[in-house]
Amino acid sequence: MDVCAVVMAAGEGKRMNTNHSKVVQRAAGKPLVSWVAKTLRESGAKEQVYIVGHKQEEVRAVLGEDVAFVLQEKQLGTGHAVLQAAPFLEGRNGCTIVLPGDAPMITSETLCSAITLFEKGEYGAVVVSAEAPNPKGYGRLVRDEEGNVVKIVEDRDASEEEKSIREINSSIYCFRTPLLLSALGRIDAKNSQKEYYLTDTIEILIRDGHKIGVYITDFDETRGVNDHVELQEAGKILNRRICMRHMQNGVQILDTNATWIDESVAIGRDSILLPGTILRGSTVIGQECIIGENTRLVDAVIGDGTTIENSVARECSIGKNCRIGPYSHIRPDSILGDNVTVGAFVEVKNSVIGDYSRARHLTYIGDAQVGKNVNFGCGTVTCNYDGLDKSACIIKDNVFIGGNSNLISPVTLNENSYVAAGSTITDDVPELSLAIARSQQIVKENWVVTKNRLRSANLIQPDRRREGV
Ligand code: UD1
Ligand code: CA
């Protein structure tokens, strides 16, 4: 059967109070409409057409080239939106799935089940519905005594009796394509919002003598996202699904409410995610890692057995059995080998660091090529920027750099050399040698007594923050 999809994504989304298109708002790291596109792909809808209008450039940008777009110049309602796809639908004889761009939680299992019901049942259309604990705001499925659907009524147009119906319209449908086109041609805007409602096509098809099927699913799958409260609820549900998948694959997650994982992230078994972990983009984490607390990884590749604590890493690769953090910042284009230590308040940028090298505290490594088994003393700084250009610092295997050293790039520290603590290194250091670049110490004996500078302790004042709480 020919299955195509029409997604309604032109609306203004007033209730979201945003300067942007509602359907590009992100839930669990992905734009709402991209969740819909992904589910459609998984459900076998090869051709997808998106009805765009309000902020259409934003919707086009997130969906890319693989789908078709139709412009709805004025947003006159959901029925009017789908009607804009008529040129795309004419001549087709199979099934048209219609979905709203603001329903990110629908799964491909449900969509496929609805399509199967549609195929088997000789229906004019199948509506996906759900029992809502609080149906306010949704269209309701009105059924007769025998349980057959009679019509869909919008919340605003519903009688008190209809408002008490808890079965809601998800706005997800399978239509027999020619019947959809025929019904769309006959809807009017005689309702409280003076809009052309897609829901009215159901009553028209029933009047024409067609059967309407209903596929009932979980309410969570059908939820629309109209405002920021619903957006955060959707994010939580989608994120929890992602966390569940990883837990089933052997990842330990201490708190799924405090762990955010993009759909695209991969994590090896026996890794542990502590609260406050945020994993984004194309991040790949190996096995037996410990990530968190409070760690954000964006497009980062992490080897097996590595632990990262209270740190940020982006567009970088970190090898096996590394110890990162607390409070490290690994910036783009950094490649760390295996068994590397990057510790507290250490920043690495565009640098390669060889196996077993360590920078445990308060260090900046930028534009550097660092060999194996190098030790950075506390407070080492690669001075890579002269105000106009960046220069490279080359540090060969087994170099030892004493604390509080400045390496003025471009400069090379050759194999097995030492830099004395407190040095400012401007010239290359030959292998197997020690470089000392600091001024000689002067000691003035008994100076404290002769200058009367003996010090005593100060009392600590109470913390005044308490007054502002
Ligand atoms: C719609 C349904 C309602 C259902 C609910 C489920 C109608 C009339 N109502 O209501 O029965 O319970 O979804 O979430 O269909 N859009 C356009 N062009 C327009 C108007 C809307 O493209 O002219 C798009 C919007 O961008 C949105 C989708 O259609 O993605 C749904 O519109 P929205 O205003 O959110 O409809 P609801 O009031 O939620
Ligand atoms: Ca909606």
381-403 pLDDT, tens per residue? 999 999 999 999 999 999 999 99
Q: Which residues pair with 69 in a beta bridge?
A: 50
Q: The pTM is what?
A: 0.93
Ligand 1 centroid to Cα of residue 54, in Å, is 14
Judge if the beta carbon of residue 9 lies within 6 A of ligand 1: yes
Ligand number nearest to the C-alpha of 81: 1
Judge if the beta carbon of residue 129 lies within 6 A of ligand 1: no
**Burial letters 10-39, b for 16+ CB under 10 A, else e:** bbebeebebeebbbbbbbbbbbbbbbbbeb
Nearest residue (CA) to ligand 1, atom 26: 11
CA distances (Å), origin 54, targets 27, 50, 104, 455: 20, 12, 19, 70
Helix (H, G, I), strand (E, B) or coil at 403: coil
Ligand 2 centroid to Cα of residue 227, in Å, is 9
213-246 pLDDT, tens per residue? 999 999 999 999 999 999 999 999 999 999 999 9
Q: How far apart are CA 207 and CA 141, in angstroms?
A: 16
- Whole-number pLDDT of residue 178: 97
Percent of the chain as helix, strand, coil, to the nearest 5: 25, 30, 45
pLDDT of residue 61 exceeding 90, the answer is yes
Residue 60 CB neighbours (<10 A): 17
164-177 pLDDT, tens per residue? 999 999 999 999 99
Ligand 2 centroid to Cα of residue 286, in Å, is 39
Positions annotated as catalytic residues are 361
Q: How far apart are CA 222 and CA 219, in angstroms?
A: 5
β-pair type (301-302, 295-298): unpaired
What's the whole-number mean pLDDT along residues 241-259?
A: 98
How sure is the predictor about 1, in pLDDT bands with cuts at 50, 70 and 90? confident
Judge if the beta carbon of residue 154 lies within 6 A of ligand 1: yes
